[in-house]
A = this chain, B = another copy of it.
Amino acid sequence: MIDFPPAEFEARLERIQALMTDAGMDAILLCTEAEVRYFSGFRTQFWQSPTRPWYLVLPRVGDPIAIIPEIGAELMRQTWVDDIRTWSSPDPVDDGVSLLVDTLYGFNKVGVPMGEEASLRVPLRDFNTVREKCPAQFVDCSEYIKAVRIVKSEAEIAILRDICAIGSAAFDRAPELFHTGQPLKQAFRDFKIALLQEGAEDVSYLVGAAGQGGYGDVISPPDMTPLETGDVLMLDTGSTLQGYFCDFDRNFAIGHADDEAKQAYETLWNSTEAGLEHARAGNTCADLFEAMHITLGGGSSDVGRYGHGLGIQLTEYPSIAAFDKTPLQAGMVMTLEPSLTISDGKMMVHEENILITEDAPVLLTKRAVPELPVIG
């Protein structure tokens, strides 16, 4: 069995089935990597190939049904899913559509994630055919999926704790890894190797930037520009273990830190402290946002939020944002990610990963030092 014992998946299914019962929903149809994996345990990087569709049907009563290309049958058999229906894919005429229509026969109301953060990882043409051929009513079920996934199990938390520790150990090696004159692209590569050496299984996500006293953009790939004295280097990694992400960054001053950069760093660090104080079950995401926002003294950035959920995706619901009234609950794993505009085109970001409890949150990342560290 990959990653988790069957009891983990039984509990997930039970929770969604209870919500389906309340909503009068007969089945849920899933076709995206995160959702199929969450309910089946089917974990493979093969999703990077866009060619084949994969479906998982969760009936309101009974066990999940996988409708998948034959190439995935052997791996699916290693999960807790017993009902596996396959076809030889790719098939340009009928790429699993008939098999799916047959599977949905008899269901009157079928949920499909259609709302915030959802996508449709099958051709729209195929999905429309399924809708036409099934007499069922298709409705949005994003809220229900969200409600189940948002609280992590002990087993999930254990993995998230491990990958955050791995990320922290790699960042601890910054003084040996990064130095003046090093092209940013090389710094990225060296850091990826360090993450793997520390135990990450994949470095799916590494973005970052460097610039004098701050940086202009936080989602770019690196170029060959060498690190210079006075640069602030920021690296933000979503590395994975058993398909679970950490997502946090660290800032380092190269050789020298100017006062403006030190000040920005301190402001962000304090904003995170405020976040740690207010990240309590019962508070809403909006409350948490407000507490962090005040400490930034009106400085804002274009990131759009100060953190988010974390798990089998780099970012998950909810958002730490003024609009998000989601109550924090024990078992949620979140990032705290305040960002600050220093001056036109120059910003700084800071990020930690935490577990929400009934009491004070538990830091999963090793807390950043309170003053901008100077290395190199």
Contacts and interface: CB of A to CB of B under 8 A. Distances in A.
Contact of A314 (B48, B74, B120): B48
Contacts of A44: 207, 219-221
B117 A51 contact: yes
A273 interface: no
B217 A305 contact: no
Nearest to A185: B201
A238 interface: yes
A223 B44 CA distance: 13
A208 to B, nearest CB: 11
A89 B321 CA distance: 10
A340 B74 CA distance: 15
A183 to B, nearest CB: 12
A230 B118 CA distance: 45
A48 B119 contact: no
Interface in A318-346: 319, 321, 323-324, 345
A70 B142 CA distance: 25
Given A46-B207, A50-B313, A305 B221 contact: no
Contact of A220 (B50, B78, B304): B78
Nearest to A121: B119
Interface stretch (A16-24, A167-175, A188-196, A291-299): A188-196
A43 interface: yes
Most buried by B among A115, A207, A220, A308: A220
Given A74-B217, A125-B140, A220-B44, A323 B91 contact: yes
A128 B93 CA distance: 25
Most-contacted residue by chain B among A73, A120, A219, A315 (CB, 10 A): A219
A116 interface: yes
A111 interface: no
Contacts of A114: 123-125, 128
A44 B209 CA distance: 13
A288 to B, nearest CB: 15
- Tell me the interface secondary structure of chain A in the complex: loop
A112 interface: yes
A72 interface: yes
How many chain copies?
2
Interface string A107-140: 0000010111111111111001000000000001
A74 B74 CA distance: 44
Given A74-B216, A205-B45, A315 B51 contact: yes
Nearest to A315: B49
Nearest to A125: B114
B90 A304 contact: yes
Given A71-B304, A88-B302, A217-B74, A204 B140 contact: no
Contact of A92 (B48, B116, B125, B201): B116
Nearest to A32: B50
Interface of A: 2, 34, 43-46, 48-52, 69-75, 78, 88-93, 95, 112, 114-125, 128, 140, 142, 185, 188-189, 192-193, 196-197, 201-207, 216-221, 238, 243, 302-305, 308, 313-315, 319, 321, 323-324, 345
Given A49-B313, A71-B218, 16 more contacts: A43-B221, A45-B219, A46-B207, A48-B314, A50-B313, A69-B304, A71-B302, A74-B220, A75-B217, A78-B220, A88-B304, A115-B123, A118-B123, A118-B124, A189-B201, A192-B196
